[in-house]
Amino acid sequence: GEVFLNGQYVPYAEARIPVEDRGFLFGDGVYEVVKIYRGRPFRLREHLARLQRSAREILLELPDVDWEGVVDRLVRGGGLADRDATVYIEVSRGSGPRAHHFPPAGTPPTVLALAREFPGVPPEYRERGAAAITHPDLRWARCDIKSVNLLPNVLAKEKAVRAGAYEAILVRDGVAIEGSSSNFFAVLDGAVVTHPEGPHILSGITRAVVLGLARDLGYRVVEAPIRVSDLGRASELFVTSTTAEVMPIVSVDGNPVGAGRPGPVAASLLEAFMRLV
């Protein structure tokens, strides 16, 4: 198939990014991942608004792109019109001789988008729930920016995978902040609890959708820090993301959560989410 690169559609194998691209040299860029359900993007407007915000926060001016048209062409051109897929979008601060400070004004950003078929998370995770580990949150103080600097996330996720787990819950000052690539929720005293928006979390598109669904379903919703010391008394834990949707977490560091099975709150939220998409 083709990818979208700097305003043009290029065969995947022929797409080239300069060796001094700042995304490669410095992780100097921002990104989005959009889920495609049966050929149609879910919450594209919200993802684009977040891309715009991330770019603004790193003082990167986004070029005008008809993203709806790009997503549509990549999905259709990739033979994904009736499939589930993801579209990855990245914008870096362009390329130039390596220097930390910004390149000269007028340097065009590098703009990439590509679609890939994504059949979804393994059904056994859905049915039996997934394991998680806790891991120190080693990231910077602007986790609200969706930047391509993902080394702490990558290392935490790898640790989870090596432990046979699905996700690493990042912990800062005794608080379970979010997953390495997901937002983190607990059911505590019957309420659906998740960390408030702010510089320490990425404001997930799925998080916002799920909070809305939780309110619609009549759950009490609390946006407050979740202490690791409270995880043991949570009746349920789950994570949300564009690709994982609502994923029940049934053990943390080997300790079962509640009954050790996916619980009714996560199940009802996932069901409502699937109706929506």
Cα-based angle 239, 245, 158 (whole degrees, multiple of 5): 55
Choose between 204 and 263: whose C-beta lies nearer to ligand PMP: 204
220: left (phi over 0), alpha (psi -120 to 50) or beta: beta
CB-based contact 100:217 (threshold 8 Å): no
Question: Judged by CB, which is closer to ligand PMP: 94, or 265?
Answer: 265
Residue 77, helix vs strand vs coil: helix
Among 160, 265, 142, 155, smallest CA distance to 213 is for 265
DSSP at 22: H
Instruction: Give the DSSP H/E element, type plus range, for residue 160.
Output: helix 151-162
Handedness of CA 150, 49, 196, 244 (dihedral sign): negative
d(CA 224, CA 228): 13
Q: Smallest distance from the beta carbon of 98 to ligand PMP, in angstroms? A: 27
* Torsion on CA atoms 5, 41, 177, 90, rounded to nearest 10: 0
Give yes or no for a contact between 167 and 247, defined as CB atoms under 8 angstroms apart.
yes
DSSP code string of 207-241? HHHHHHHHHHTT--EEE--EEGGGGGG-SEEEEEE
Which of 2, 197 has the CB closer to ligand PMP?
197
Name the site residues for ligand PMP (rule: CB under 6 A): 33, 153, 178, 181-183, 202, 204-207, 240-242
Tell me how far, at minimum, the Cβ of 156 lies from ligand PMP, in Å: 10
Name the minimum Å distance from CB 171 to ligand PMP.
14
Q: Which is nearer to ligand PMP, 95 or 266 (CB)?
A: 266
Given the residues 35, 146, 157, 159, the one annotated as active site: 146
Instruction: Name the minimum Å distance from CB 219 to ligand PMP.
Output: 19
- Are the C-beta atoms of residues 203 and 262 closer than 8 Å to each other? no
Instruction: Please say if 157 is a catalytic residue.
Output: no
Residues pairing with 183 in the sheet = 240
As measured in angstroms, the least distance from the Cβ of 34 to ligand PMP is 9
Catalytic annotation, residues: 146
